[in-house]
Amino acid sequence: MEEMINAHHLCKKFKGKTAVQDISFSIGKGEIFGFLGHNGAGKTTTIRMLTGQIYPTSGYSEIAGFNSITEQDLLKPLIGVVADVQNLYERMSGIENLKLFADLFEVNTARIHELLELVHLETYSKEKVATYSNGMRQKLLIARALLHNPDVIFLDEPTRGLDPTSAKNIREVIKRLSKTGSTIFLTSHNMEEVDDLCHRVAFIKRGELIALDTPQNLKLQHGSKSIVITFVDGTKEIIATRNSEDFQSTFFKSGGKEIQTIHSQEASLEDVFIKLAGTEAAQ
């Protein structure tokens, strides 16, 4: 698989405090890559280094073979970014915000309307951004990031503030982009969303990369399956299982009570997140 993002021993320190420590990974063309961790764990700092917004203290990164720092002029046309800050021009309308950036990338008007329709903002395109809800602003940011058909897209909490229907629409857009060859670097606190979208995920804790694999492999390696028994009297019993013998033993643990339902339950990515990253946010 052609590699589109490469991080080589990235490290970033701010006033002596380490925000990111010796991170290395590669991401292939068309891959949706989840980058997970608590607030303050180093996710945004990593994105800013990869996109050339800040210099690493040591190490380097490449996008499509171009150095993120020394070849920024070649890099910028290839990437789209939805940042953690909604940096829109509030006194301008939605369509005016897009036209401003479209002129920078020499994108035609048809592309603007195509994206406004894609994120369901066509009806509100002439209204000032100051009147937009948080979710509408987020959708406008996503449209702006896609204007120039970038090869690599960085999405920092892309569905934050969106209602379930809008969030589903954005997830479908992300899947479609991946199928057409775009590489997606995604951060999210929605573990179900990550499990649904990502081919691989990495966990970062206090600036260090602590795990990287497919969601399924991580759940198998760090989670546990269980059997949930619901009895006729309304009580439930959850029994951890590892093999068929454990499954068979559930029938002997019912204590003679009448069983209503039995179903298996596998570990979730949220379970893995809590196990690997811990329950308290990085300081």
What pLDDT is stored for residue 256 in this prediction?
62
Strand pairing class (17-28; 32-36): unpaired
Q: 159 near 171, Cβ under 8 Å? A: yes
Q: What is the pLDDT along the chain (283 residues), one digit of tens a residue?
A: 689 999 999 999 998 899 999 999 999 999 999 999 999 999 999 999 999 999 999 999 999 999 999 999 999 899 999 987 888 999 999 999 999 999 988 999 999 999 999 899 999 999 999 999 888 999 999 999 999 999 999 999 888 878 898 889 889 989 999 999 999 999 999 999 999 999 999 999 999 999 999 999 998 888 666 777 777 776 776 666 655 555 555 555 556 677 677 766 667 889 889 888 886 544 4
> Could you confirm whether domain 3-88+148-164+173-219 is CATH 3.40.50.300?
yes
What pLDDT is stored for residue 134 in this prediction?
86
Which strands, in side-by-side order, build the sheet including 225-231? 236-241, 225-231, 259-265
What pLDDT is stored for residue 251 in this prediction?
54
**CA 35 remoteness from chain centre:** 6
CA dist 133 to 36, 97, 143, 169, Å?
26, 16, 15, 17
Considering the entire predicted model, what is its pTM? Answer: 0.84
What pLDDT is stored for residue 235 in this prediction?
77
Q: 156 near 86, Cβ under 8 Å? A: no
d(CA 147, CA 105): 8
Q: Nearest 5 degrees, angle CA 216-CA 173-CA 41? A: 55
User: What are the residue ranges spanned by the domains of the chain?
Assistant: 3-88+148-164+173-219, 225-265
What pLDDT is stored for residue 129 in this prediction?
96
What pLDDT is stored for residue 252 in this prediction?
54
